Amino acid sequence: MYFAGVDIGSTMTKVVIVDEDGELCSRIVGPTGAEHRRLANRVMEEALKQANLPFNQISYVVATGYGRVNVPFADRQITELSCHAKGVSSLFPNVRIAIDIGGQDAKGMKIINGTLVDFVMNDKCAAGTGRFLEVVSDALGIKVEDLGSISLRSTNKVKISSVCTIFAQQEVVSYLSEGTPLEDIVAGLHEAIAGRVVRMVKRLKIEPDVVLTGGVAKNIGVVKAVRENIGLEVLVPEDPLLSGALGAAILGKETVLKALAKGELIPKKERRLEEATFFT
Partner 1 sequence: MPVAEETKGLSRVKELYQDRPQRVKELKGEGRKVIGYLCIYPVVEMMTALDLVPYRLFGDMREPITKADACLPPMVCPFLRSSLDLALKDKYPFLDGMVMAHICDVGERMAHIWRTYVDYPYFYFMDVPHTTHKSALDMFKEEIKGFQKSLESFTGKEISAEKLKQAIRVHNDQRALVRELYDLRKTDPPLITGTEVLQVMVALAGIPVGEGNELLRDVINEIKQREEKSPKQAARLLVWGSVIDDVSLIEIIENAGANVVMDDICVGTRSHWSEVELTPDPLDGIAYRYLVGIKCPRTFREAALDPKGKNYMADLENRFGYLKDYVRGWNVNGVILQSVRYCDTHGYEVPAVRDYLNSLGLPSVYLEHDYSQSSLAPLRTRIEAFLEVLG
Partner 2 sequence: MVQEKKRAINRLQTMRPIRAEIDETYKANVEASKAGNPIAWAMLTIWLGDAIFHAMDIGATYPESYGAVCAASGAAQSYLDRSDEEGFPTHMCGYARNCIGYAARMMKDCGGEIPPEAPMGGMPKPAVLLSRGMSCDAGFKWFQALARYMDTPMWTLEMPIPGVKEGLSEEVRERNVAFMTKELRDFVSFMESVFGRKMDWDKLSQTVQDLEAIGRVWYETSELRKAIPCPMHSRDFWTCMSGPSTPTGDLKKKLKLYQDLYEEVKDRVENKVSAVVQEKYRVGFTELPPWHSLKLFDTLAERGWNFVVETWGYHPAVPIDLTGVNDPLERLARISYSGLTTSCFQGAAQAGEYMGFLGYPNLKYAEEYKLDGFFLHPLLSCRAASAHLWYVQDRLMQKLKVPSLMVEGDIVDVRMFDLADALKKAEAFEEIMDHYKEVRKKEGMEW
Partner 3 sequence: MAWFMGIDIGSATSKGVIAKDGDLVGHHVLPSGTNYKMAAGKLREELLSKASLSQEEIACTIATGRGANNVLFADQQVADIICCARGINNIFPSVRTVIDVQDQSSQVIRIGEEGRVVNFATSEKCAAGSGRFLQVIANVLRIDLKDIGPLSLKSENPVIFTTGCAVFGETEAVSRVAEGNSKEDILAGVHKALAEKICALAERLGLEEEYAITSGGGLDIGLIKAIEGKLGIQLLVPPYPQLVTALGAAIIAAEKCPPKEE
Taking the least distance from each CB to partner 3, the nearer of 152 and 166 is 166
Question: Is residue 37 close enough to count as binding partner 3 by CB under 8 A?
Answer: yes
Amino acid at 5: G
Query: What DSSP letter does each residue of 100-125 carry, written as one string?
Result: EE-SS-EEEEEEETTEEEEEEEE-S-
Q: Which does 202 bind (CB under 5 to 8 A by kind): partner 3, partner 2, partner 1, none?
A: partner 2
Task: Please select the residue that binds partner 3; options are 174, 231, 267, 268, rule is CB under 8 A.
Answer: 174
Mark residues 46-85: x for contact with partner 1 by CB under 8 A, - for none: --------------------x-----------xxxxx---
Only one of the segments 44-52, 114-122, 164-172, 186-194 lies at the binding site for partner 3 (rule: CB under 8 A); that segment is 164-172
Question: Is residue 53 close enough to count as binding partner 2 by CB under 8 A?
Answer: no
The whole-angstrom separation of Cα 276 and Cα 8 is 12
Other C-beta atoms lying within 10 Å of the C-beta of residue 56: 11
Return phi, psi of residue 103, to 5°.
Answer: -65, -45
Task: Please select the residue that binds partner 3; options are 21, 35, 233, 270, rule is CB under 8 A.
Answer: 35
Question: Is residue 199 close enough to count as binding partner 2 by CB under 8 A?
Answer: yes
Please say whether the dihedral angle defined by the alpha carbons of residues 234, 239, 243 and 244, taken in this order, is positive or negative. Answer: positive
Q: Which does 121 bind (CB under 5 to 8 A by kind): partner 3, partner 2, partner 1, none?
A: partner 1
Question: Is residue 117 close enough to count as binding partner 2 by CB under 8 A?
Answer: no
Question: Is residue 200 close enough to count as binding partner 2 by CB under 8 A?
Answer: yes
Q: Is 198 exposed, middle or buried (0-12, 13-18, 19+ CB in 10 A)?
A: buried
Residues 112-151 that bind partner 1 (CB under 8 A): 116-119, 121, 123-124
The whole-angstrom separation of Cα 67 and Cα 69 is 6
Q: Shortest gap between Cβ of 63 and partner 1 (angstroms)?
A: 12
Q: Shortest gap between Cβ of 233 and partner 3 (angstroms)?
A: 32
Mark residues 69-108: x for contact with partner 3 by CB under 8 A, - for none: -x---------------------------------x----
Task: Please select the residue that binds partner 2; options are 22, 161, 264, 272, rule is CB under 8 A.
Answer: 161
Site size toward partner 1 (CB under 8 A) is 13
Task: Please select the residue that binds partner 2; options are 11, 162, 169, 180, rule is CB under 8 A.
Answer: 162
Task: Please select the residue that binds partner 3; options are 20, 22, 31, 33, rule is CB under 8 A.
Answer: 33
Give contact residues for partner 2 (rule: CB under 8 A): 161-163, 195, 199-200, 202-203
